[in-house]
Amino acid sequence: MTVINTSPAIHLHAVLVDGLGALTHLIGDIVIPWEVGQELAAGHAKDSTWHDIQALSGIILRKSAVTVHPLLSAQIDLGEAAVIQTAMDEGHETVILDDLKARRMALTLGLKVTGTLGILLQAKQAQQLPSVSAAIATLERRGMWIAPSVVEKALKLAGEL
């Protein structure tokens, strides 16, 4: 199973054809820590992600907070810390995080890390996404900042540049 953070959940739900349902078909079951669920629920007026994911099979919503190690919570946001802690506590290998500091911390702790763009590349390879470029444009219009060098690398990997 893979543990996902708030931002990637919102971003991927917005650009994948079947939202996070497509993601479960691509990578299998997805764990959403309670803390991430709370962040999604708090933003439900702006975004349908929280409402939509509650009805999806393959999405496992944790019902209680995880006890986050103080070293994690002191260095990264609570949602990201909960993703890493949940993966470690439950023995999940992979986390989906976009924040660079959280990604580095997860890698240091031995977890496999991917992010929104990594999932978009997987979706394109699996023919579940016609254009990484169009998806990135949508994400940027929705307010996601992506370094130009990262966009360029993703488009090259997707064969779109």
Q: How far apart are CA 154 and CA 161, in angstroms?
A: 9
Q: So where are the chain's domains?
A: 2-157
Query: 2-157 has which CATH code?
Result: 3.40.50.1010
Q: What residue spans of the chain are helical by DSSP H?
A: 6-15, 20-27, 34-42, 49-53, 70-73, 78-90, 100-108, 116-125, 132-141, 148-157
Predicted confidence band of residue 8 (pLDDT cuts 50, 70, 90)? very high
The per-residue pLDDT for range 87-146, each reduced to its tens digit, is 999 999 999 999 999 999 999 999 999 999 999 999 999 999 999 999 999 999 999 999
For 4, phi and psi rounded to 5 degrees? -115, 145
Confidence at residue 55, expressed as pLDDT on a 0 to 100 scale: 79
Query: Which two three-digit tokens encode residue 122?
Result: 């997987």
Confidence at residue 93, expressed as pLDDT on a 0 to 100 scale: 97
pTM, two decimals, is: 0.93
Q: How far apart are CA 119 and CA 29, in angstroms?
A: 14
